[in-house]
Amino acid sequence: MKNIVIAVLVAGLVHAIGWNLTREAIAPPNVVGTLNHVSYAPYRANQNPEKGDRPVPEQVERDLRQLSQMATGIRLYSSTGGQEIIPAMARRHGLNVSVGAWIDKDEARNRREIESAVQLARANRNVRSIIVGNETVLRKEKTQDELAQLIRQVKKRAKVPVSTGETWHVWLANPRLVNAVDFIAVHLLPYWEGVPADRTVEYAFSRYDQLREAYPGKRIVIAEFGWPSRGYNFLGAVPDPLVQAQTLRAFIAEANRRGVDYNIVEAIDQPWKSNEGSVGQYWGLLDAERNAKFSFTGALANHDQVTAKAAVALLLGLAIAAFGLRRRNVTLGHALTYAASANVMAAGLVAAATYPFEHYLNFGGTMMWVIGFGLMIPLTVITVAKIHEVASVLFGERPRRLIEAQAPRIGAGPAPKVSIHIPAYREPADMVIETLNSVAALDYADFECVIVINNTPERDYWKPVEAHCRALGERFKFVNVEKLAGFKAGALNEALRHTDPAAEVIAILDADYAVTKDWLKDLVPWFADPKVALVQAPQDHRDGARSVLNTAMNSEYAGFFDVGMVERNEHNAIIIHGTMLLVRRRALDEAGGWTSDTIVEDAELGLRLFRAGYQAHYTARRYGFGLLPTTYRAFKTQRERWAYGAIQIIKKHWRAMLPAGRQLTARQKSQYVTGWAFWLSDAFGALAAILNLLWVPVIILIEVLVPTVALTLPVLLAFVVNLLHCILLYRARVRISERTILGAAVAVMSLQYTVAKAVLDGLVKDNLPFKRTDKGKTGAKKRTDVVLWETVIGLGLVAAATWLYTFNFSRQQITEMNVFALALAVQSIPFLSAMVMRGLERAEEHAQARGVTLRELVGLYPRWVLGAVARLRPRPALKAIPRLRLPFAFRAGAAKLRQEA
């Protein structure tokens, strides 16, 4: 408990310091008095003028009353659509108005806009100018001459100055337009030019001075200046609430000092402006609820917002850390690592949860956030669980329950009789015979062996096995049932019916496992404790070094048996496997034998025995060696069965994991729920990848804001944790080379889609058929590719990441987009890993067909290329090819090339 308290306090303190570092305070120039003008769009947060929504007079009245306390005037951009009421209302509040006439390619609307603007100017003496068009030339909807003609028409009818709003470079490039207006209404928006905030004011006035030099004597009004408070960066321009306050106050102070007329864009945030990129909604001095974003005098800080988030994050981090470490006797290093990760995850969850409260989300953005945050929660839980396991292995105590030596005998009398059961379905006879020979050589006095051949009519499979059992003697019982229901569970129950009544322990072997002679001698004594119902030894494989593919698969298995099983054993919660397993017969009978309502009868039996109060023991020592799946397809099929079976177990036993359940201890529940979460993590990972892939066109074409914390950072963090989880634990427990660890990582990642599909099938389908794992020489090698969907999704993610990055690089270089592109690239790795595994298998098949090893095949490739080129040249050139010295070529390869030539 002391270590836990220290760890939680230290992690919380560091967490609080981290939040404190995000606190900022600035002291920009004070703005005394009212502003010149502000742009005003009279719409509520839920209104959209593009959908025909019109201003609500009561809301306009309240807005103008509030704006009259901030500015001397307002700028409008349209004179129709309900905005005709604004100038008269503004007059009652003492506000000047710059009326706008929206100009585009709709000539009928243009005429209505101009007519309304002219009439408003005539009817309201507070209308001080008319702005005909807004960036109309910039949008290429009118030429300078066409727009100049419209301006001259308005000037003839109006008694107030007339201009148009354009950016500085449009004014410089169109002098005839300058001649047509009464004054230059220039838009200076450094954000859209990627100017960093600290250079914005200087840059804006440098462009202002450039216009003064180009058009001396012409009145110039800065008709738009502003800075967004949220959204993507544009090159070096970064939106931020404090940056907005700093920039605007500095600009207004400088404009006042120079005596320059200006208009701030804009008065109020406009959530409907999602068509203006990620920042279009966030230019207001007030938010959409009409709350001021900042004060124009005094120092400014974000302390309140940071403090609120920090408080919630600290409490959440404390809760996660305390919950994960409860009822544990942990070292300080283990507790510190876990508590630190819990606080990091808590900070991320709070940042993601507050995203909708700081941004305006339309339907698409809301769905994106909901899905992202929904996936973030389980990914966070799973990531924390993996960090927990890493901390336990690296910094925790040595395993205490692991069988590391022969158990001392308790009591006197003969050793219990053991009945070894070997189910076999269409297994190669020579492989089964090798297993039987290893059983016959066991150094244990009292055992029998029951082999059950089931659903195998082909005589070539079972006839030699029957003869060999007869030759081995009466201890070996051969049972052949042509039609047997219940898959492997049915075969094991059939074996029980042929078991000697005197047998106290049942041993389970797969048909491909050759055992060492001391298997029973070392492990059966652990049944001297009547509470023990199970003793499990790990799986291993005698063909693990046969090929690169086999080495990768074998290493992937080793990680589970040397890491996961050892950790679960400490809490009496191991996963039972249907080979190298010893079971107390009485406990098996009490539990109802083997059940066939799941396709993982072994793991399901283990959970039933734990619920009955029995204990299990595990040893990491190898007592038997089987054969790996024959093909990568078989490797996937086996994992698909395990994942589907895990979902079946969840559906059958989930109530036992509830707090009210009393059959399992809290630690057993934790281990089972964590193990199930690891299966689900692959499903969540694949789902997140597919959803992110589908979202890329929306981001590019519509420029929807990416909720970075919810959609990208969890993916990247989970990948890093998974990678470290693999590397660190393999180095600590499996003790294999870095190259072999890499192979294991590729193997486990390659199964993500397979597991995800199996999890989905388990959730929506019942009673899928049992699929055997081809081993030895069984199973025809199908030529159809087994990684079709992994290839489609993996290459799709790579293409999407490339598209997003190149699109972003050529435009805004938005940090969030680059992070999202990186997340897509990372999400492609598991799918590409499946392609790598299948590629290795195809390459090894190719090498085997040519009678060389894979390494020799790699050495041959350069010579084959050179040979092909040489065939286009005179024959003497070909003879010189074998004398070339390539660093990766082998003599065997060169000799084979000479034979082919």
Could you write out the DSSP letters of every residue in 628-665?
A: -BSSHHHHHHHHHHHHHHHHHHHHHHGGGGSTT--SS-
Question: Is 541 within 8 Å of 473 (Cβ atoms)?
Answer: no
CA distance 747 to 561: 15
Question: Is 489 within 8 Å of 596 (Cβ atoms)?
Answer: yes
Q: What tokens appear for 89 in the block?
A: 């209302």
Quick one: pLDDT at residue 894? 39
The 8-class DSSP code of residue 732 comes to I
Q: What tokens appear for 198 in the block?
A: 């600290």
Residues belonging to the chain: 901
Longest dimension (CA), the chain: 120
Q: What tokens appear for 421 in the block?
A: 């059961």
Q: Mapped to the 3 state alphabet, what secondary structure does 85-106 carry? A: HHHHHHHHCCCEEEEEECCCCC
Quick one: pLDDT at residue 706? 65
Q: H helices of 712-853, where?
A: 713-729, 738-749, 752-764, 788-809, 815-849
**Percent of residues in the chain assigned helix, strand, coil, to nearest 5:** 55, 10, 35
Quick one: pLDDT at residue 703? 65
Side-chain-side CA neighbours of 668 within 13 Å: the count stands at 26
The 8-class DSSP code of residue 369 comes to H
pTM above threshold 0.85? no
Assess whether the previous peptide bond of 266 is cis (omega < 30° from 0).
yes
Q: What tokens appear for 507 in the block?
A: 């041993």
Quick one: pLDDT at residue 412? 56
CA distance 259 to 251: 12
Report how far Cα 190 is from the mean position of its chain's Cα atoms: 35
Instruction: Give the Cα-Cα-Cα angle 79, 81, 87 (nearest 5 degrees).
Output: 40
- The residue whose two tokens read 């007869």 is 470
Quick one: pLDDT at residue 718? 85
Burial class of residue 140, CB neighbours in 10 A (0-12, 13-18, 19+): exposed
Per run of 10 residues, the mean pLDDT along the chain (length 901 residues) is: 90 94 93 95 90 92 96 96 95 96 95 96 96 96 96 95 97 96 97 95 97 96 96 90 96 96 96 84 95 95 92 94 83 93 92 88 80 83 88 89 68 83 94 97 96 93 95 96 90 96 97 96 94 96 91 93 93 94 96 91 95 96 94 93 94 93 92 90 88 85 66 82 90 89 94 94 81 64 75 96 89 82 94 94 85 67 55 47 39 42 38
- Strands 300-301 and 25-26, sheet pairing: antiparallel
Classified as helix, coil or strand, 223 is: strand
CA distance 425 to 453: 6
CA distance 182 to 176: 12
CA distance 377 to 383: 10
Side-chain-side CA neighbours of 57 within 13 Å: the count stands at 4
Sign of the alpha-carbon torsion through 408, 410, 416, 421: negative
Phi-psi region of 14 (alpha: psi -120 to 50; beta: other; left: phi over 0): alpha
